[in-house]
Amino acid sequence: MRKVCVAFILTTNIWFIGLSQVNYCSSFESEFFEYSGSATLLTDDVVRLTSAINSDFGAIWSFNTIDFNNDFSVSAQLYFGNIDSPGADGIAFVIQPLSNNQGFSGGGLGFQGIAPSLAVEMDTWFNSGNDPTSSDHIAVIANGNNSNIAAHSEFVSYNDLTNIEDGLWHDFTFVWTATTQSITVTFDGMLMFDFNLDVSNVIFSGGNDLFWGFTAATGGAVNVHQLKILEYCFTPSNCDEVAPPSGPENQQFCDEAFYSDLTVNEESLLFYDAPAGGDPIDPQNALYDGQVVYVSQVINGCESEQRLMISVEISTIVQPELETVELCRTADGTAHFDFDSVLETGGFDSTDQLSVYLTFQEANAHANPLPWNNDYSLDSDQTLFVRLETPFCYTIQQLNVTLSDCEPIIPDGFSPNNDGNNDYFNIQFLYGVHLNHELKIFNRIGTLIFEGNNDNPWRGQTNSTDHIVPVGTYFYVLYLNDELKRIYRGWVYINY
């Protein structure tokens, strides 16, 4: 089983912060730990080891063993309660090969008697004859032998601590460097120990597959003991075969996407650009069209050797700026919406990728599109929604349609022969729109021959005789009688 080191948060969106050949780093995830005794997960990151009751015990252990042939580190925050005297007993960091269900209540901080083991104890109770100092202290102790004064300095001298039962959180780090067989411990940012020890041979008879965790206990004196594991880096041991993650092998996105957007059914994921080897990729990196991504999963620190292959397609869709469409009212007060004007306004090539809706919700759901024809009528200003699509991507644009009284469009001829075609002086957007207009028609010598209005269009007749005038050119003056006092003058030709 290939082993990697990547620091990340074990969620669907993983953030990598470091990389080496052997070490794997993680923030705290409760499912990767075993709880013993009274240990309880209070929040996402706070574990209560003991309550302030007599003879309580709690421990949290790594679910699987780690390989101490490689580097290991843990950073945590520890809470020792707020009862200074008579508070007890403290918290210990422990490594041992036995099981993930070790520890005892009483005055031994929960690790007394665990053998073989190596512990860093932070003791808050003075046991006369057993402890080397009456102060709160920190010591490295082998095989759970913390009732022996000499054992507190077997490998390195213990250190006194100030009162740590102060109701505050205290920083703790433990670092094992395998190549130099060195142990470094800091407490509240101060170096406590830095020494060399052949842990495998001196403590564990050549063994290197070890559980790690924190223990705490109370006896006749009590305190609340709590823990936050901030980050730990390790190489897993005894990995079972881990299956690759599952998910669609072809995935499409619109405009832009990131590794974290890929649909993969499992959560603890590593992303690569090759089917084997290589370094994991930050999931916040952007994907590109045509890319092939390879994904493995990590279970209890063990990574799958096989990787899921995903082909990526990204469609870039044009976001048109749709200008307002202005429509002219007709005689009945309505206007006809020409769908082709949407194509012209947006600069589109065909109607195949477009559909128009009355509401955004319908456009988003692709429901109830308007029929694509020129017969859709509006009787007031309206906002429509245009959906532009590619095979796996769409955008919805708002299209404003306004109705207005347009300027009349005056023809230059007509034929009043009662054939049903162009039989009257049909001035578009005049009748039924400009209701107060006046129309005057003059012959070639300037004689007024016809006066009309909204109810009386000119059909080629004269007012005096009601007879059709001869073929020829006639002159008109059109008064709209609107706020702008617009007047139109010109000529019109009559033929039969």
53 or 29: whose pLDDT is higher?
Answer: 53
Is the distance from CB of 35 to CB of 180 less than 8 angstroms? no
How much is the average pLDDT of 47-63? 96
163, 178 in Cβ contact below 8 A? no
**Cβ proximity of 158 and 193 under 8 Å:** no
Which pLDDT belongs to residue 283? 94
Q: Does residue 6 surpass a pLDDT of 60? A: no
* DSSP designation for 444: T
Cα separation of 206 and 217, whole Å?
30
When comparing pLDDT for 323 and 312, which is higher?
312
User: Does the pLDDT value for residue 348 go beyond 80?
Assistant: no
The mean pLDDT value for 24-48 works out to 91
Structure confidence by residue, pLDDT tens digits, 350-368: 555 788 899 999 999 989 9
User: How far is the C-alpha of 93 from the C-alpha of 111, rounded, in Å?
Assistant: 9
Mean pLDDT, residues 202-208: 96
Residue 374 reports pLDDT greater than 70: no
pLDDT at 95: 98
**452: part of which helix (H) or strand (E)?**
strand 448-452
Mean pLDDT of 206-235: 95
Lowest-pLDDT range, 82-91, 266-275, 294-303? 294-303
Of the listed ranges 45-49, 106-110, 177-181, 452-456, the least confidently predicted one is: 106-110
Q: What is the pLDDT of residue 345?
A: 62
**What does each C-alpha distance from 145 to 116, 117, 173, 185 come to in angstroms?**
10, 9, 22, 19
More confident residue, 70 or 320: 70
Q: Are strands 118-123 and 137-142 parallel, antiparallel or unpaired?
A: antiparallel
Tokens representing 432 are 């039924």
Distance in angstroms (rounded) separating the CA atoms of residues 265 and 169: 37
Report the range out of 336-340, 374-378, 449-453 with the highest average pLDDT: 449-453
Instruction: Give me the domains of the chain, ranges plus CATH numbers.
Output: 23-234 (2.60.120.200), 250-315 (no CATH), 325-404 (2.60.40), 408-496 (2.60.40)
pLDDT score, position 19: 32
Helix residue spans in 126-236 (DSSP H): 199-204
On the question of pLDDT at 15 being above 50, the answer is no
0.85 cut: is pTM over it?
no
Per-residue pLDDT for 22 more than 50? no
pLDDT at 37 over 80: yes
Checking if the pLDDT of 54 tops 90, the result is yes
Q: How confident is the model at residue 17 (pLDDT cuts 50, 70, 90)?
A: very low
How much is the pLDDT for 8? 32
pLDDT in tens, 156-180: 999 999 999 999 999 999 999 999 9
Pairing of strands 57-62, 209-217: antiparallel
Is the per-residue pLDDT at 11 higher than 70?
no
Is pLDDT above 90 for 330? no
Reported confidence tier of residue 375, pLDDT bands at 50, 70, 90 = low
The rounded radius of gyration (Å) of the Cα atoms in the chain is 43
Mean pLDDT of all residues in 213-219: 96
- State pLDDT tens for residues 387-430: 888 777 888 888 899 988 888 999 999 999 989 899 999 998 89
pLDDT at 76 over 50: yes
pLDDT bracket for residue 301 (50, 70, 90): low
What CA–CA distance (Å, rounded) separates 48 from 55? Answer: 15
> Does residue 79 surpass a pLDDT of 80?
yes
State pLDDT tens for residues 228-254: 999 999 988 867 678 899 999 999 998
Which own/partner contact pairs does 259-266 have at CB distance under 8 Å and 24+ positions apart?
A: 259/283, 259/284, 259/285, 259/287, 259/293, 260/12, 260/13, 260/14, 260/284, 261/287, 262/287, 262/293, 262/295, 262/310, 262/312, 264/12, 264/295, 264/297, 264/308, 264/310, 266/297
At residue 298, does pLDDT exceed 70? yes
Average pLDDT over residues 381-391: 86
Banded model confidence at residue 30, pLDDT cuts 50, 70, 90: confident
Distance CA 150, CA 130 (A): 9
Match 């049909």 to its residue by tokens.
426
Candidate from 204-208, 273-277, 376-380, 416-420 with smallest mean pLDDT: 376-380
**Residue 327's pLDDT is what?**
86
Mean pLDDT, the chain, integer: 89
What pLDDT is stored for residue 263 in this prediction?
A: 96
Which residue in this structure is represented by tokens 């433990």? 174
Mean pLDDT, rounded, for 30-38: 92
Q: Which pLDDT score is estimated for 26? A: 84
Residue type, 73: S
Percent of the chain with pLDDT over 70: 91
